[in-house]
Amino acid sequence: MYTFINDDTPIKMARVANMLRKARGEEMLRSFFRKVKDDQIEKFIEQFQNRETEKLNDFIEQYKPFIATKVSEVCKRKIDPEYDDEFSIGLIAFNEAIEKYAPNKGSNFLSFASLVIKRRVIDYIRKEKKNYGYSLDDREEDMENPYEIKVTSEQYQKQIETEQRKEEIFHYTEKLKEFGITILDLTEHSPKHKDARETSLLIAKTILRNENLKKQLFDTKKLPIKEVANLVDVSRKTIERNRKYLIALVILLSEDYIYLKEYLKGVEK
């Protein structure tokens, strides 16, 4: 049953319905072309990874605006490709993304490239220890509002740290996937007692110190339980029960995860 507000209400409703159908159709069309574009990009990437680099320079040239945008998002300012070192870092990172991209990991190339670019630029900023925006030295008294400038700088530093944490979590999650482990697995298989966690950490460090065990673990993506049990005073049954947690610890300790390693401090005390 319909309630007519005025004579042309049904016509208006029909127009609205038609507009919605059109909008849905346009969105489906955009999605289709996005998919086609992604497929074309992945085809190019596959060719480049197979050393078919004839069009590589043209491809990179085409995506220089994309690179500049991603670098600008990290630096919080407009980037000049001709003069800013950060753009060169972004360019190198984009090339790295081309070499390392794997379509079976779930994300499209541009999303992956964006993460690599931001990670490398953040690493560069931290290593160079540059102060973006305003100086906070003794000349602050000559500025309009030194306190506001300091707060802004601190907020920006927090943004960098937040971005770095996200990047570390993403990278760590991807590494865990190589071993068939998810973050959910860790929440379910982590030892409940502190002494068990401390023991697991000692075992993980033992594995890292033993080059043969470490190589076997990373080559086979499986924990050599028997060999580990021969080196530590822990039963094979206990090692098997904590297998996923141990592998996760070894990965965490073997990579340069500055922020994620903070979570180990409570275990090591």
User: The pTM is what?
Assistant: 0.46
Distance CA 100, CA 236 (A): 37
Q: What's the CA gap between 24 and 15, in Å, rounded?
A: 14
| Interval 111-144: pLDDT, tens | 888 888 888 888 888 887 645 443 434 333 443 4
At residue 108, the pLDDT reads 75
Q: What is the pLDDT of residue 26?
A: 41
**Cβ burial, residue 60 (10 Å; 0-12/13-18/19+):** middle
How far is the C-alpha of 209 from the C-alpha of 197, rounded, in Å?
Answer: 19
Residue 257 per-residue DSSP state: -
Q: What is the rounded CA–CA span in Å between residue 107 and residue 114?
A: 11
Q: What is the DSSP string of 190-257?
A: S-SSHHHHHHHHHHHHHHHH-HHHHHHHHHHSS--HHHHHHHSSS-HHHHHHTHHHHHHHHHHHHTT-
Q: Are the C-beta atoms of 200 and 245 separated by less than 8 Å?
A: yes
Q: Which of 21-30, 50-59, 176-185, 186-195 has the lowest mean pLDDT?
A: 21-30
Q: How far apart are CA 67 and CA 89, in angstroms?
A: 10
Write the DSSP string, 158-182.
HHHHHHHHHHHHHHHHHHHHHTT--
Annotated domain spans of the chain: 8-121, 183-268
Per residue in 2-18, pLDDT (tens digit) is: 444 444 444 444 554 45
Dist CA 230 CA 21 (whole Å) = 67
Q: What is the CA radius of gyration of the chain?
A: 26
Which is higher by pLDDT, 260 or 107? Answer: 260
pLDDT at 105 (0 to 100): 59
| pLDDT confidence bin for 107, thresholds 50/70/90 | low
